[in-house]
Amino acid sequence: MNEIIAGILDMVRRALNPTVVTKAGAVPQATWREFYPDMPGARLYMLPNSNPQTDVRYIAPPEIPAWVMQAHQYLSMEFDRLAGIVDPGALGKKKQVPGGDTIEQMREMLNTPTQLESRYGELFLRDVGVQAMSNVFQYFELPMRLRLLGKDGISLEDFNYEGPNLIPDHVTREDHWKNFSMMITPGSLLGSSRDREKQTAINMAAKGLLPLQYLWSVLELNPKQLMEMLKQEHEMGIGAKAPKPSGQSAPKMTGGQKTGNV
């Protein structure tokens, strides 16, 4: 592609600075050396027998065949397809403007290799994770766990005779990590999968099929902190109203139920 573009640019330059030719004996050598055809007001001294219309002329650059541009267009599209590049300009020509997550999903759909790559990435991380899991048992001592996780980092095993560590006394310490398995959810590496998960959670929560605190955790919000803040707002009488407990108001009735004409 770069060859084609560079070649076309060379043609452009040749068109803007065309080659000038003359025949021997038409123009004196000294005059020809001082002649700049692109200079405004350039002057050329010709010999008596020569004709300016025929003996001095521009050479037009060669025409680029149409199939060169077609090849370039094909290569561009093919490269974009292989690289998974989405053209937002082309999407803007549609009557509907897609959202960011839609573009992300389209890019992943267009670029099937990306999905394969992400799967290989997940396999890689699983190999890493198994070793990381063992390393946590072996190397993460209680003070560091407390620093990282607070009281959530304390285990009952820390108070064993052999402790503080995450390993029970009665097991072979080197093999304890084998009691655990590690999994990385397929497809979780790509950003769009998380968007889809969020959207599904929002839809389910709107229908009352999902606990609110679970929704918050899916939306990567802090459920504990949000619950505290909501409580405070309710006590202060501001913010969103708390939902009424069930059974505190009369059920809605249809017209027939009200009149008795069922």
Partner 1 sequence: MDFLPVGPHYGSDSDGENAHYATGNQGEDRQKYLSGLEHWRESAKEEAYKTADLNPEKEAAARYMRALGGEYWDRRRAKYKSKVFDNRLNNSRITDLSLLTQTRPTIDISTKIDAYKGEADIVSKVIRSEWLTRDMDAEFIRVNDITKLNGTGFWKIGAASPGMMQAISCGPDSVFPIQPGFHLQNSTAMLYKTWKALSYFRNKFPYGCAGIEKELSDVEQGAGGAAQFTRPKEYPEYTWERLSPAMRRSVGIRIGSGDIGTSVFKSLEMQEYYVDDPQVNESKNKVLMRHPYLPLTLYNWWYWVNPGERLYPRKRLLVFAGRRLMYDGPAPFWHGLFPFATLRLNPVPWSFWGLEVSRPATS
Contact residues: partner 1, CB under 8 A: 1-2, 5-7, 9-10, 13, 79, 82-85, 107, 113-114, 116-117, 120-122, 124-125, 127-141, 143-145, 147-149, 152-153, 155-157, 166, 168, 173-175, 177, 179-185, 188-191, 194
Q: Smallest distance, Å, CB 9 to partner 1? A: 4
Q: Smallest distance, Å, CB 87 to partner 1? A: 12
The DSSP bridge partners found for residue 94 are none
Q: How far apart are CA 172 and CA 220, in angstroms?
A: 38
CB-nearer residue toward partner 1: 139 or 235? 139
CB-nearer residue toward partner 1: 16 or 250? 16
Helix (H) or strand (E) holding 213: helix 212-218
Q: Would you give the end-to-end CA distance of the chain in angstroms? A: 77
CB-nearer residue toward partner 1: 174 or 228? 174
CB-nearer residue toward partner 1: 1 or 15? 1
Q: Longest Cα pair distance anywhere in the chain, in angstroms?
A: 120
Q: Smallest distance, Å, CB 194 to partner 1? A: 7
Q: Smallest distance, Å, CB 31 to partner 1? A: 25
Q: Show the DSSP H helices in 64-141 as ranges.
A: 66-83, 88-92, 100-110, 112-139
Q: Smallest distance, Å, CB 96 to partner 1? A: 24
Residue 118: phi, psi to the nearest 5? -65, -35
Q: Smallest distance, Å, CB 233 to partner 1? A: 29
Helix (H) or strand (E) holding 59: strand 56-59
CB-nearer residue toward partner 1: 27 or 190? 190
Ramachandran region, residue 163 (left: φ > 0; alpha: ψ -120 to 50; beta: rest): beta
Q: How far apart are CA 169 and CA 3, in angstroms?
A: 70
CB-nearer residue toward partner 1: 71 or 149? 149
